[in-house]
Structure formats: C-alpha cells, structure tokens
Amino acid sequence: MSSTIPSHLFEPGPVGVPGRELTATLDAQTLEILRRREGGRFRSRHRRGWFVRRALLTADVLGLMLAFSLSETLYVGVSSAPNHLTTLGEYAVFLALLPLWVVAARGYGLYDDDEARASHNTTDDVARVFHLVTIVAWLLIVVGYVTGAANPAVTKLVLFWALSVFTVTVFRAGARAVSRRRFSYLQNTLVVGAGDVGQLLAMKILRHPEYGLNLVGFVDDQPKEQRPGLESLTVLGSPDHVGEIVRELDVERVVVAFSNDPAERTIELVRSLRDVDVQIDVVPRLFDLVGPSSEIHTLEGVPLLAVPSLQLSRSSRAAKRAMDVTLACASLVVLAPLFGLVALAIKLDSPGPVFFRQRRLGTGGGFFQIFKFRTMAVDAEAQKAALRHLNKHAEPGSDPRMFKIPDDPRVTRVGRVLRRYSLDELPQLLNVITGEMSLVGPRPLIPEEGRYVDAWARKRMDLKPGMTGLWQVLGRSDIPFEEMVKLDYLYVTTWSLWEDVRLILRTLPILAGARSGSY
C-alpha cells in the first residue's frame, strides 16, 4: 500500500479512559477519513476482509478465464479421440464450473488469510493455488472421460493447468497491490503491553507500512520508557479498559505482546475480546524459538508447541544444494548478457576492476572470498576511517556494530544504480556454484562483525550464507545487528525447502524496488 497514508487517523479527544487523549496531525487525507465518523468513532464502510475477498475472487475468475482462453487459442494438437463438445460448448461448461472454483478456493482458505494475517502475501498462496489447480485439472479429465460428455485432450488440460497456476498467481498479486492502496485495507491496531516485546513489535509495524496496520497506541499498566522512534505513540490506558478502547477507536486488530501482568489476567483480557469484532494476535512467550515450521499439537487437551530439531538431515542438505546449483546455473545462463553490460558500464564509469572481492565468514566459522560487482571507488576502504562519523548506525539508538552511510560518497554513478536494484549481488551466483554460498541463507558477515555474535547464535552458520534471506526480505540495512542475528538463527533452526522458495519469491519484488509484503 502507499506509504503516504498517515500513521494516525484519529482526531484529538477522549477515548473513554479518564485522563487519556489521542494526538494526531490532521491533514487532507485525515479530514477525509474523519468525515466518515459517526458519534465520534472512526468508521469505514467496509473493513479489509470485505474488499480483499472480492478483489481476490475477481482475480481468480479473470486468471482462470485468461488461462482457458489461451489454452483454447494456443492448442493446435489433434485429440486421438473425438470430442463431443464444440469450442463454444467448452466455454459454456467452463463458465458453469467457475462457481465451483470459488467454493473450493474458499475451502482452501484462499480468501480469508489477508484479514487474519497481517503479513500475508501472494507467495503464501502459491502452494495452495498449485494444489487446487492440479486437482481441478485432473477432475476435468476424470469427469470428461467418465461421463462421456467430453474427451478433452490431455495436452490441452496440461497447458491450461500450467497457465492457470501462473495467471491466477499474477492476478492475485495485482489484486493485493490494488487493495493495499485503499483506506479500507487499513487496520487500526492496538498493542497490549508496552514493554520490550511490545515496543519491538511496534517498531516492526512502523517499519513496514505495506502491512496496513495503523498503530493507534499501547495498553499497559506499567509501560517502560519508550524507545526512540515511538515517541508519537500513546499509552491509552489500562488493560482493564481494552474493550472500551477497541470500540471507541474501531480497533480491528489487538496484538497481545506479553507484559508484566499475570497469565490469568492476560487470559481474561483475551476472553473479553472474543465477543468483539476484532482480530486477536498473541506473541508466544518463546517467540525467539518459534518459526513457520513449528506446529501445535495436543496432549490430553494441553496444547504443545513442537520446536523442530536443530539438525538438518543429509537429504535436506542435498535437496537445498540441488536447488542452489540448478537455479544458479540457469540464472547465470539467462543473465550472461546482463553481466556483460554491467561489466562494460563499470569500466566506462570509473577506473578499477569490474569485480569486488571481500573476505566473509562462511559455514562453521571458515572464510571465503565473496564476489560482487564493484560499486565504489577503488580506494573505498582507505576512505572508511575518515567517513566513520557518517555511519547511520552510529547515531543514538542505532547499532554501531554495523556500518552504513546514506548516500555514501564513495559509491560511483553506476554503483548507485546497481545497488538500488541489488544487481551488484549477482556475481555471488559464482559463490553459490562453488559451494561457498547458498541462494538463501544467513547474512554473510565480514570478520569484524563476526566478533559480536554470541555463542548461542553461532548456530546461524550451520548453513551456508545466502544471497538473500530473512534479513533481506524484512528490511536489510534497516534491521539492527542483534535482530539480524536472531533472524538468521531462526532461519537455520526452522529451515524448510518451501521456506527457501518463498524467500526467493519474496526477494523478486525487492529487486524491482517494491516492499516484500506489497503483493
């Protein structure tokens, strides 16, 4: 969604909690929202789920219709058996079956997750879309042969299947892009708990406006001093008044980020919200250990959270390596002309070599030479000491263990373009083929940064460093060093091949200059 949507859409005034007031900067967009108020409360004609479900349904129908039309047009083979249906008849049957797709897609949960999950995007749908389209294609074959009503060519159905997976996915990405630019996509969000975890979560929400979470403030009896960057957020009152605050501000999402309250009080708070039209998210106590592959099961009615084993099997490592080599080799072949153009541009722009090589930490604490296209002047390292005062991570509230200069004067003209689209990273495909890196993995640290990694976090190097990873998808240089290390640890200890595929897919829009959650 557009980052121009104001962070706070509420006029100053009481919220039903004695002595508490909301503050906001009113602008033209805010006034437009305030005109929709009824009785002093923020209201929208429709919430996120209403619009997104309809946008995705439309995307599915259009994607399937396009795939079917293309398969009818492109198929030039001749079926070995006569087909009782004409082309017009096939179109009629296809249109008649479209409502069944909608019912099946609803059963697969393809229309509800955008409202329930703040960071849900199209890559999360790919597996289910693939599975559903596959079942639909095979059902068409079976029904056609069993009933004798049609004898569709298998090759035509295979073409329809392949096109449908692609077109439905692309149209869904477009539908989400449109949805995220509407005010109805915005969810007023309240964080219960203004301690370390609650404030960390608030920082993440503010850092990712594409999630469409309008953070209205905290609820806590004993809030901690607010971190830099959170000064504009208000502690709205006690958890005892959370229901009143939710109704007054039309809050759609409540995130329970545990505070110092006893567990019984937190449970009572969540139960009190079950009768309110609000999405409830709970940060688990062991959130540093919980990843996407963690599962909940029960033992005699007691929920248990299964934390995956830290050891990767040989077959898992072999599958990861096979995917790395296959995709890296294919990418090098496809990108060979681009490599030549970039190399020529670098040589014409500034004196020095085409490639930049730097010592990095590899698997198990070893070292390797990472390859990049050169984006800086050849004496960039010599200038580093003189420019250290410009390091953005040396500012108050930042992390001095990392070095990043906004608009770095050492970067060349061509280098700025390469960095903007991450093209300077492409030579790392050579490191992937040689086995020093992986397509997806922990961030490859320089030796100086490696000294700051705690003993427990060295588990992050059980897998090869990656060209992309959680650290890149979730913010790259905007992520503090400590958080980056935790993300790498979480990636390694919860690894799955499908998660690698998802991270690769989420990296693609970043290369095009888009946020990872914006499609």
DSSP, residue by residue, 192-234:
E--SHHHHHHHHHHHH-GGG-EEEEEEE-SSPPPPPTT-TT--
Q: How confident is the model at residue 78 (pLDDT cuts 50, 70, 90)?
A: very low
Residue pair 391/405 in contact (Cβ under 8 Å)? The answer is yes
What is residue 152's predicted lDDT score, i.e. its pLDDT? 62
- Where does the pLDDT of residue 163 fall: very low under 50, low under 70, confident under 90, or very high at 90 and above? very high
Tell me the C-alpha distance between 48 and 187, whole Å.
7
pLDDT for residue 310:
66
- Name the percent of the chain lying above pLDDT 90: 31
User: 78 vs 197, which has greater pLDDT?
Assistant: 197
Alpha-carbon dihedral sign for residues 388, 389, 390, 395:
positive
Question: What is the tens place of the pLDDT at every residue in 199-227?
Answer: 989 988 888 888 889 999 999 888 888 88
Asked if 38 and 219 count as a contact pair (C-beta separation under 8 A), the reply is no
Whether the pTM exceeds 0.75: the reply is no
Closest CA to 234 of 469, 15, 506, 467: 15
**How, if at all, do strands 21-22 and 13-14 pair?**
antiparallel
Name which of 129, 139, 140 is nearest 105 in CA terms: 129
Write out pLDDT tens, residues 337-394: 999 999 999 999 999 999 999 999 998 888 999 999 999 998 877 777 677 666 665 5
**141 plus 53 within the same structural domain:** yes
Residues 341 and 469 both lie in one domain: yes
The pLDDT assigned to 13 comes to 32
Half-sphere exposure of 519 (CA within 13 A, CB side): 19
Number of helices (H), then strands (E), belonging to the chain: the values are 17, 12
CA distance 215 to 137: 44
Contacts for 66-71: CB closer than 8 Å, 24+ residues apart: 66/163, 66/167, 66/171, 67/160, 67/163, 67/164, 67/166, 67/167, 67/168, 68/94, 68/160, 68/164, 70/159, 70/163, 70/167, 71/156, 71/157, 71/159, 71/160, 71/163
Higher pLDDT, 476 or 42: 476
Q: What is the pLDDT of residue 40?
A: 40
Establish if 85 belongs to a structural domain. yes
Q: Please say which residue of 179, 214, 236 terminates a domain.
A: 179
**pLDDT band of 122, cuts 50, 70, 90:** confident
Question: For residue 208, which of 145, 100, 80, 121 has the smallest C-alpha distance?
Answer: 121
pLDDT band at 513 (very low <50, low <70, confident <90, very high): low
pLDDT of residue 150: 59
SS3 11: coil
Same domain membership, residue 357 and residue 270: no
Tokens describing residue 497: 């091949």
Residue 362 and residue 266 share a domain:
no
Tokens 């039209």 -> residue: 277
Same domain? For 248 and 167 the reply is no
168 and 213, same domain (yes or no): no
Residues 6 or more apart from 161 whose CB is under 8 A from it?
133, 134, 137
Most confident of 48-57, 92-101, 296-305: 48-57
What whole-number distance in Å separates Cα of residue 288 and Cα of residue 265? Answer: 23
Q: What is the CATH number of the domain that holds 246?
A: 3.40.50.720
Summarised one tens digit per residue, pLDDT across range 394-413 is 555 555 566 677 778 888 99
Give the pLDDT score at 312: 77
Residue 63 in domain: yes
| In the predicted structure, residue 183 carries a pLDDT above the cut 90 | no
Q: Strand 466-468 vs strand 13-14: parallel, antiparallel, or unpaired?
A: unpaired
Indicate if 269 and 344 belong to the same structural domain: no
Average pLDDT, the chain: 80
- On whether residue 197 sits in a domain, the answer given is yes
Instruction: Tell me the pLDDT band of 149, cut-offs 50, 70 and 90.
Output: low
User: Does residue 308 lie in a domain region?
Assistant: no
Q: Identify the residue with better confidence: 343 or 236.
A: 343
Q: Confirm whether 305 is domain-assigned.
A: no
Q: Could you say which of 179, 214, 238 is where a domain stops?
A: 179
Predicted confidence at residue 6, as pLDDT, reads 36
Report the amino acid identity of residue 447: P
Centre a 10 Å sphere on the Cβ of residue 32 and count the other Cβ atoms it contains.
11
Q: Please say which residue of 264, 283, 302 terminates a domain.
A: 283
Nearest-angstrom CA–CA distance, 275 and 458:
45
- At residue 500, the pLDDT reads 92
* Closest residue by Cα to residue 282 from 301, 248, 305, 315: 305
The answer on 191 and 123 residing in a single domain is no
Mean pLDDT, residues 93-119: 87
In angstroms, the CA 422 to CA 511 distance is 6
Same-domain pairing of 379 and 453: yes
Radius of gyration of the chain measured on its C-alpha atoms: 26
Q: Are the C-beta atoms of residues 278 and 251 closer than 8 Å to each other?
A: yes
**Reduced to 3 states, what is the DSSP secondary structure of residue 34?**
helix
Mean pLDDT value of segment 123-138:
88
63 with 165, same domain?
Answer: yes
The rounded distance, in Å, linking the Cα atoms of 50 and 112 is 9
Query: Does residue 29 form part of some domain?
Result: no
The predicted pLDDT at position 114 comes to 86
Work out whether strand 187-192 and strand 253-256 pair parallel, antiparallel, or are unpaired.
parallel
CA-based nearest residue to 398, from 332, 480, 330: 480
Q: What does the alpha-carbon distance between residue 148 and residue 152 come to, in Å, rounded to a whole number? A: 10
β-bridge pairing 355-361 and 295-299: unpaired
CA dihedral sign of residues 287, 292, 294, 295? positive
| Residue at 292 is within a domain | no
Q: Tell me the pLDDT band of 320, cut-offs 50, 70 and 90.
A: very high
Least confident segment among 72-86, 183-197, 314-328: 72-86
Look up residue 307 and give its DSSP letter.
Answer: P
pLDDT at 15 (0 to 100): 33
> How many domains does the structure of the chain reveal?
3
Nearest-angstrom CA–CA distance, 48 and 183: 9
> At residue 1, does pLDDT exceed 50?
no
Question: 475 and 352, same structural domain?
Answer: yes
Give the residue numbers spanning the domain of 458: 314-511
Q: What is the pLDDT of residues 244-288, one digit of tens each?
A: 888 888 899 999 987 666 778 888 888 888 878 889 998 887 777
Q: How confident is the model at residue 151 (pLDDT cuts 50, 70, 90)?
A: low
Do residues 122 and 209 share a domain?
A: no
Whether 5 has a pLDDT exceeding 70, the answer reads no
Mean pLDDT of 463-487: 82
117 falls within a domain: yes
Residue 419 has pLDDT above 50, yes or no: yes
Q: Is the pLDDT of residue 19 over 60?
A: no
